[in-house]
Amino acid sequence: MLRIYDTRARQVERIDAGRALRMYTCGPTVYRHAHVGNLRTYVLSDLVRRVLERRRVRVVACQNITDVGHLADSPAGEGEDKVLAQAQAEGRSPLELARFHEESFVADASALNLRPPEHMPRASESVELMVELIAKLIEQGHAYTVPDGSVFFDVRTFPSYGEISGNRLDELRPAHRIEAVDPRKRFHADWALWKPAEGELTWDTPWGRGFPGWHVECSAMSLRFLGSRIDLHLGGIDLRFPHHEDERAQSDAAAGHEVVRHWVHGEHLLFDGRKMAKSTGNVVLLSDVVAEGLDPLAVRLAFLEHRYRQQLNLTWDTLRAADRTVRRWRARVAEWSESVSAPLSRDYADRAEAAFDDDLDTPAALRILRELERDESVAPGAKFETFLHLDQVLALDLSTEIGKAKVLPPGAGELLEARERAREAKDWPASDRLRDKLADLGVRVSDTAEGQTWE
């Protein structure tokens, strides 16, 4: 069974799922297009799901849509709602903007072969759940109201706060940019469950008109759609504190017990060595990848080439290399499909699946596939079955070239690989000889800035 790193336990733990597993992933804030760094978290969730389903585990997944309540950064934590601010900047209604970017996110998820979750609640349509949860926390003494209509969570009523991130409650200090502690709070680390406001994206409550805090949204939606026993909670490493700490405190306080068994976080993605940001001009969308002539699943493969909890520095060269690999494997699978059928290679399949189970060691699984590709002792029919068997987890659409005219003749795949290695070694005479051999087989090779292509 799958073993994965639990952030709270600070060790790799076995996921004892039984026959069913409940999994929650913090979804996108839909005020702009998701960039490829954002998408890495959702590939992680999809990978976990596919690995578990290969083990006959039924996964019930919930992934929210944040279309209200996520505030832009500010020294006092009182910035504008991101959706509302962007809608005003574009001259659109907040919900029009949110639905546009939600549809864009769903399209990107489909292009990356992410299986849709069973539940995808929108925050704006779940406010009643949040109000009920806040009222319960007030009744239990875990939250308090103030005269202006704000409601705060009283963090000192939850002594185990900080177990996910390691931030001890008695060591927490106000952020360095805040000159004075908010006088409305009983303790500086308390956070808002409800904020008073008028205008768009606001609702009436017993405490006055306003909108929910970002953290309470995930608690309310996860408890409603998955119940008070959740096996896995996933998200990017940047959500570990304060979002997941606050969410855990709210959910556990309301339920009276530990709600989430395992917290799992994916690491940051850099592009060309820098964090993606408008200011540095290196924000890359999935549509940008497609515009460069690359398959969107090259992004998925590039993610799988690195362990999910390792920081990944993505580059255009990395993506082009991944694109070449995806296309080559599809061509090889199509070539092998013309061979005599044979059972899959159990040795290679078992080793790759063991790598998946070992804290999602996808780089090791991909190395095993490359080894199988080169292993001349394995029949082509067995390679065909093994690649497609493992593609149920990899989800690279390796069968898409089967039956198409562009199928390499027998032996051409090996020659193309050898020529690619010769070019990398700058062995030009060998490269030319291999080009001639390929021409004799009816394969015309061209060299481009991105590598060799053939037809």
Annotated binding site: 26, 218, 243, 247, 278
Pick out the residues of the known binding site for Zn(2+): 26, 218, 243, 247
285 Cβ partners below 8 Å, 6+ apart? 33, 34, 35, 36
Other beta carbons less than 10 A from residue 368's beta carbon: 21
Residue the block writes with tokens 């060309």: 272
My answer on whether omega of the bond before 296 falls inside 30° of 0, hence cis, is no
| Rg value, the chain, Cα | 25
Residue 91, classed as helix, strand or coil, is coil
Give whole-number Cα distances, 441 to 269, 429, 436, in Å.
42, 19, 9
Helix, strand and coil percent figures for the chain, each rounded to 5: 45, 15, 40
Other beta carbons less than 10 A from residue 294's beta carbon: 22
Pick out the residues of the known binding site for ATP: 278
| Amino acid identity at 258 | E
Outline where 176-293 has alpha helix (H): 214-226, 245-255, 286-291
Report how far residue 163's alpha carbon sits from residue 407's, in angstroms, rounded to the nearest whole number: 54
Phi, psi dihedral angles at 270 (to 5 degrees): -105, 160
Strand intervals (E) in 17-170: 20-25, 58-63, 143-145, 151-153
Residue the block writes with tokens 């760094």: 37
Give whole-number Cα distances, 392 to 111, 342, 373, in Å.
16, 19, 17
97 Cβ partners below 8 Å, 6+ apart? 30, 31, 83, 86, 87, 90
For residue 268, which of 314, 302, 299 has the smallest C-alpha distance?
314
Q: Which residues pair with 210 in a beta bridge?
A: 196, 203
Strands 269-271 and 274-275: antiparallel
